[in-house]
Structure 1
């Protein structure tokens, strides 16, 4: 679908969206992040003219930070309805914790909500309304904060976050705020003004209202210059990422969830820090300061590969850096807490009245319990340590639970064999912390099976008929299911 554009600004914006749309699969739907402000209003209006209303989806995030938030939601829904566009919204809670930037918390909450809405509606492309002035402000902010190359690269024209439902695209990134406002005026659009945009206590607003006007007078081409800086930084960062991938191929252990302590500290400081930054991004962590990363590397060098990870005092993004048996990894919790006293994640309990099912899918755990029949012709089947009589599985509800700390099990049938804590058993067998985050299988209120440790012998009858059918329980993570 095309539309005749009358003003120069209209022609530029229609052309930019036409190019962006042509890069997508035929008939693919596009979600537009729609706040109701002038930028997103122009983006939505132009998207309808270029792609047609049926291919557009307007997504609104209600932050609840303003007394006018409900009115903005109503305005956004009406604006989309006037153009025949499907509208969806989601309310979010923005952290107000001391020391947490409201701007950053709102941005993170907004992107999480937008991605969730894209996933719910099956849309794989998200258009954002940032423009050249936004890009220039971002580069300036990052420069003033002393950010590295990743920060100076600012906003990419196109970006696919790991695990995200939609690719983020910024088709207006090379256009000026003035051109967007000219389009809005030519189309007589109505939009809302967020009163917080005038609050110069926020760093971005201070730049917008007090710094960039002066730059415009004395350095009229500063936006293009900063855009080139962002582009150069992005190119340099790609090269650093290539180097980090090379290093990770030799340092990585256990599918990238851990690093070899020896191999990491063998790198010089610059390469080791570059690798740590890249690895943390792969783990989904927000970036850490250079000071914190430098301190982490210093402590890792001091601890040594065989040292005690409890001596590390590096906390970041709700996790603690640990060193255990030659591996470096992140464990949920605080570094002042004892390592691995309980499950890393508390998930809701699942229950099953087992009636011979071959599998029990647990999406909250991203895995499946497999019940594998033991061959009755196998002469050793009845004596197998991991074979469970069917009658045991049927005597009560099965439940999958998180570790709460202190659980015990007996792994031997030897007379007088004690029940031992799961923590001790995991440590004895060298199971790293991230592999201990598994569902515990209970029969009624009794622990029956623990992935990586096996069957709790105390839950089995002392004498079961040798002819009784038996099964083995196996835990398989999603990526292991064929």
Structure 2
């Protein structure tokens, strides 16, 4: 490779990398998202020159969308090895069923994989190779799509999405594509060309190959102008987000999983719409159109006047906006289902058999059953279960758990249990049973918490999280159980973090 220490492109790229590196703690490790194209090749080469090979690694995602994908992987590994850089690759499946474009689906799969790789390898920052031309193209695309401020803000030099293990950094965001290519040529780098980048059926490629060259002739500084537009939009959006956070302090409920209907409607339209946008972003939803948000607010105001949340009909991103008992929230599924029914039930029923664990983790329900043995003398559980959300304190004979197969099942709708009386009392098997729907409503359990596993012994419902034991099931063995035998308290514990 030839030396380029005196060329402007060389100095510009190395200075940009040095600035980004200086913002990190000393000796922190960097991961470069490395496709093998010219942009990521220049970034990786520059990082090695500035920081040294030991401080960086190359992460390559194999999408399988091109017939050349295997060759690109091999090239990337060779390029990294020549520079003494650790190379890690991962294959991903790009979903074609989500309704999103292949480009969007590939991007989502890529970032999910990159986040997982960063987490697994203990890096401190993920560096991306987007540059000034990419930024200008993004702003133009968003303008043409009629995007709001979040879209016009385009790509931030550094950001960390919710749930991402590390920050994503774009050191080359102020470097032009021509300067990157000049660096690559003078360094005699070898890179791959993705044939899809030349396909002008994609909007970004059409802008890049057909629109940008014409703009450059008539408006030579258009890239800088669009970068300033993005910076102004980002600044304005930060102010709107700050306002939304202030409003969330008054309007949000249940750790921002719901909003107070009345408090939301107390805001004027502009402020309420800003809050809805911010709330949806915080929940990880795709941005909704202005028309859809305006319709949602209109319906919320109508519901507030009529007092009937069952009429709300707003679908977005596979969820339905609901108003119930003074709360506004999103629940999974089709909004044709009534808000106070079991809309959060798994669409395909699920059943798992207990294997005798004292702590039974059920990740698909985001929680855990704890079977805590109870001390007869003190009434206390032997197992340490701090932070339990289950309020039922009654116990059952341990032998009941093995009277038949113990299983966790999805709700199907219409289940009933008896919650009044005491195990062994005469009214337990003859008193009225109650539907889970009515019991959840009576106890004020929000709809998004009702997708819980039901614990069955054989074919009889034994225990329901947030409600407790089915007294009828417990009574079946109460009379024959050894009164001095071991007893168990069943506790349901929700995950602290909701995925």
With normalisation by structure 1, the TM-score equals 0.90
Change (3 A) 1:354 1:100: closer
Aligned residue for 1:9, secondary structure, equals: helix
Where does 1:127-142 land on structure 2 (aligned, <5 Å)?
Answer: 127-142=127-142
Determine if the alignment matches structure 1 residue 403 to structure 2 residue 411: yes
CA shift for structure 1 position 334: 1.1
Aligned residue for 2:223, secondary structure, equals: helix
Which residue does 1:310 correspond to in 2? 310
Change (3 A) 1:391 1:278: same
CA shift for structure 1 position 78: 2.1
Change (3 A) 1:61 1:225: same
CA shift for structure 1 position 34: 1.0
With normalisation by structure 2, the TM-score equals 0.88
Q: Which moved more, 1:128-137 or 1:6-15?
A: 6-15
Change (3 A) 1:217 1:4: closer
Which residue does 2:484 correspond to in 1? 467
Rounded to whole Å, the distance in 2 between the matches of 1:347 and 1:77 is: 44
Aligned residue for 1:426, secondary structure, equals: helix
- Aligned to 2:468, which of 451, 454, 474? 454
Where does 1:249-398 land on structure 2 (aligned, <5 Å)?
Answer: 249-304=249-304, 307-339=307-339, 340-341=341-342, 343-344=344-345, 351-354=353-356, 357=358, 359-377=359-377, 386-395=394-403, 398=406
CA shift for structure 1 position 398: 4.5
Where does 1:100-179 land on structure 2 (aligned, <5 Å)?
Answer: 100-179=100-179
Is residue 313–residue 321 contact of structure 2 (8 Å, CA) maintained in 1?
A: yes
Deviations 1:457-476 (A, max 9, x none): 23312424443332322222
CA shift for structure 1 position 335: 1.0
Deviations 1:31-70 (A, max 9, x none): 1111111101111111222222222221122222222222
Equivalenced residue count is 474
Deviations 1:208-256 (A, max 9, x none): 1111111111111111111111111111111101110111111111111
Where does 1:408-427 land on structure 2 (aligned, <5 Å)?
Answer: 408-413=416-421, 414=427, 415-427=429-441
Rounded to whole Å, the distance in 1 between the matches of 2:451 and 2:191 is: 48
Is residue 369–residue 473 contact of structure 1 (8 Å, CA) maintained in 2?
A: yes
Where does 1:48-59 land on structure 2 (aligned, <5 Å)?
Answer: 48-59=48-59
Change (3 A) 1:412 1:366: same
CA shift for structure 1 position 428: 3.1
Uncovered stretches (5+) of structure 1, i.e. residues with no partner: none
Is residue 64–residue 91 contact of structure 1 (8 Å, CA) maintained in 2?
A: yes
Which residue does 2:12 correspond to in 1? 12
Which residue does 1:212 correspond to in 2? 212
Uncovered stretches (5+) of structure 2, i.e. residues with no partner: 382-391, 422-426
Q: Which moved more, 1:310-319 or 1:256-265?
A: 310-319
- Aligned to 1:432, which of 446, 456, 472? 446
Which residue does 1:477 correspond to in 2? 494
Rounded to whole Å, the distance in 2 between the matches of 1:299 and 1:29 is: 50
CA shift for structure 1 position 392: 2.0
Aligned residue for 1:57, secondary structure, equals: strand
Which residue does 2:47 correspond to in 1? 47
Deviations 1:8-40 (A, max 9, x none): 212221221122122222322211111111101
CA shift for structure 1 position 147: 0.8
CA shift for structure 1 position 423: 2.6
Rounded to whole Å, the distance in 1 between the matches of 2:362 and 2:214 is: 58
